[in-house]
Structure 1
Amino acid sequence: MITSQALNSFLSEDFLLQNEFAKILYHDYAKHLPIIDYHNHLPPAEIAQNRKFENISKIWLAGDHYKWRAMRTLGVNERYITGSASDPEKFEKWAYTLPYTMRNPLYHWSHMELKRYFGVEDQLNKGNAGDIYLKTTEMLQEDGFRARALLETMNVEVVCSTDDPTDTLEHHLSYLDQGHELGLYPAFRPDKSFAIENPTAYFDYLTKLGEVVGFEINSFDSLIEALSNRVEFFHAKGCRLSDHGLENLLYSNNSKLSADGILQKVIRGNQPNHEEIEYFKHKVLKKLCKMYHAKGWVQQFHLGALRNTNERMLGSLGPDTGFDSIGDFSQARAMASFFNDLDSKDQLAKTVIYNLNPRDNEVFATMIGNFNDGSVKGKIQFGSGWWYLDQKDGMEKQINTLSNMGLISCFIGMLTDSRSFLSFPRHEYFRRILCNLFGKDVENGELPWDEKWLGKLIGDICYHNAKNYFDFSPSNYKK
Structure 2
Amino acid sequence: MAVAPFITDTFLLQNKFAEELYFNYAEKQPIIDYHNHLPPAEIAQNRVFENISQVWIAGDHYKWRAMRTYGINEKYITGNAPDEEKFAAWAKTVPHTLRNPLFHWTQLELKRYFGIDDYLNEGNSHEVYSAINQKLQQPDYSTQGLLSRMNVQMLCTTEDPTDTLEHHKQLATGSFTTKVSTAFRPDKAILIDSDTYNDYIAQLEKASGTAINTFKDLKDALLQRMDFFHENGCRISDHGLNQLPFAAFTDSEVNAVFEKKRSGKSISPNEAEQFKTALLLFLCEEYANRKWVQQFHLGALRNNNVRMHRLLGPDTGWDSIGDYPQAATLSKFLDALDTKDKLAKTILYNLNPADNELFATMVGNFNDGSLRGKVQYGSGWWFLDQKDGIIRQINALSNMGLLSTFVGMLTDSRSFLSFPRHEYFRRVLCNLLGQEMDSGELPQDVAWVGNMVSDICYRNAKQYFEI
The bucket for the TM-score relative to the shorter chain is over 0.9
Aligned positions of 1:178-257 closer than 5 A: 178-199=174-195, 201-254=196-249
CA distance in 2, matches of 1:105, 1:467: 28
CA RMSD of aligned residues (A): 1.2
For residues 287-345 of structure 1, the C-alpha deviation after alignment (integer angstroms, 9 at most, x for no partner) is 00000000000000000100001110000000000000000000001000000000001
**1:282 equivalent in alignment to 2:277:** yes
Rounded Cα–Cα distance in structure 2 between residues aligned with 1:326 and 1:133: 34
The answer to whether the 8 Å contact 1:9/1:15 transfers is no
Secondary structure of the 1:282 match is: helix
Q: Following TM superposition, by how much is the alpha carbon of 1:196 offset from its aligned partner in structure 2, in angstroms?
A: 1.4
3-state SS of the aligned residue for 1:278? helix
**Residues 354, 382 of structure 1: 8 Å contact kept:** yes
Alpha-carbon distance in 1 for matches of 2:266, 2:23: 57
Tell me by how many angstroms 1:254 deviates.
Answer: 4.4
Counterpart in the other structure of 1:267: 262
1:256 CA drift (Å): 10
| Deviation of 1:198 (Å) | 2.3
Are residue 27 (structure 1) and residue 26 (structure 2) matched? no
The corresponding residue for 1:475 is: none
Letter in 1 for 2:30: P
Structure 1 residue 389 displacement after superposition: 0.1
1:471 shift after superposition: 2.6
Q: CA deviation at 1:271?
A: 2.3
SS where residue 466 of structure 2 aligns? coil
Question: Could you tell me which residue of structure 1 aligns to residue 422 of structure 2?
Answer: 427
Equivalent residue for 2:397, pick from 391, 395, 402 = 402
With 254-263 and 285-294 compared, the bigger mean Cα shift is at: 254-263
Structure 1 residue aligned with 2:47: 51
Note if 1:70 corresponds to 2:72: no
Match of 2:381 in 1: 386
Aligned ranges for residues 152-171 of structure 1 at < 5 Å? 152-171=148-167
For residues 342 and 276 of structure 1, the distance between their equivalents in structure 2, rounded to whole angstroms, comes to 21
C-alpha distance in 2, partners of 1:212/1:84? 34
* Residue aligning to 1:103: 99
| SS of aligned partner of 1:161 | strand
- Distance in 2 (CA, whole Å) between partners of 1:103 and 1:441 is 24
Q: Is the 8 A contact 1:105 1:391 kept in 2?
A: yes
Cα shift at 1:180: 2.2
Distance (whole Å) between structure 1 residues aligned to residue 156 and residue 210 of structure 2: 29
Which of 354, 370, 391 is the aligned partner of 2:349? 354
Cα shift readout 1:364-401 (whole Å, capped 9, x = no counterpart)? 00000000000100000000001000000000000011
The count of residues paired between Structure 1 and Structure 2 equals 466
CA distance in 1, matches of 2:74, 2:46: 30
The structure-2 alpha-carbon separation of the partners of 1:287 and 1:256, relative to structure 1 and needing over 3 Å to count, comes to: closer
1:142 aligns with 2:135: no
Once residues 270 and 234 of structure 2 are traced to their aligned partners in structure 1, the CA distance between those partners, rounded to angstroms, is 33
Residue equivalent to 1:477: none
> Aligned AA for 2:95?
P
Residues 213-251 of structure 1, C-alpha deviation per residue, up to 9 Å, x if partnerless? 112111100000111111111111100000000011110
331-340 vs 177-186, which moves further: 177-186
Tell me what 1:459 maps to.
454
**Cα separation, 1, equivalents of 2:260 and 2:341:** 33
> 1:46 is matched by which residue type in structure 2?
E
Residues 57 and 88, structure 1, Cα contact 8 Å, conserved in 2:
yes
Distance (whole Å) between structure 2 residues aligned to residue 269 and residue 221 of structure 1: 19
CA distance in structure 2 between the aligned counterparts of 1:256 and 1:351, rounded to whole angstroms: 26
Deviation at 1:212, TM superposition (A): 1.3
Indicate which of 256, 281, 297 corresponds to 1:302: 297
Partners of 2:61 and 2:210 lie apart in 1 by: 38
Query: One-letter code of the match for 1:218?
Result: N
Aligned position for 1:15: 11
- CA–CA separation in structure 2 for the residues paired with 1:71 and 1:203: 37
AA partner of residue 216 (structure 2): D
Q: Which moved more, 1:273-282 or 1:116-125?
A: 273-282
Corresponding residue of 1:345: 340
Deviation of residue 167 (structure 1)?
0.6
For the residues of structure 2 that align with 1:458 and 1:269, how far apart are their CA atoms?
54
TM-score where L is the length of structure 1: 0.96
Aligned twin of 1:112:
108
State the secondary structure of the residue aligned to 1:121.
coil
Which is worse superposed, 458-467 or 190-199? 190-199
Q: Which amino acid aligns with 2:78?
A: T
TM-score scaled to structure 2, two decimals? Answer: 0.98
In structure 1, distance between residues paired with 2:77 and 2:123: 19
Shift of 1:9: 6.2
Partner of 1:89: 85
Encode CA deviations 1:135-188: one digit per residue, 9 max, x unaligned.
111111110100001001010000100010011111001111113221000110
Query: Is the 2:72–2:89 Cα contact (8 Å) retained in structure 1?
Result: yes
Identity level (%): 57
Q: Secondary structure at the match of 2:158?
A: coil
Structure 1 residue 197, shift from structure 2 partner: 1.4
**1:162 partner SS:** strand
Give the Å deviation of 1:448.
0.7
Query: Residue in 2 aligned with 1:80?
Result: 76
C-alpha separation in 2, matches of 1:299 and 1:117:
32
Q: Are 1:240 and 1:471, in contact at CA under 8 Å, matched by a contact in 2?
A: no
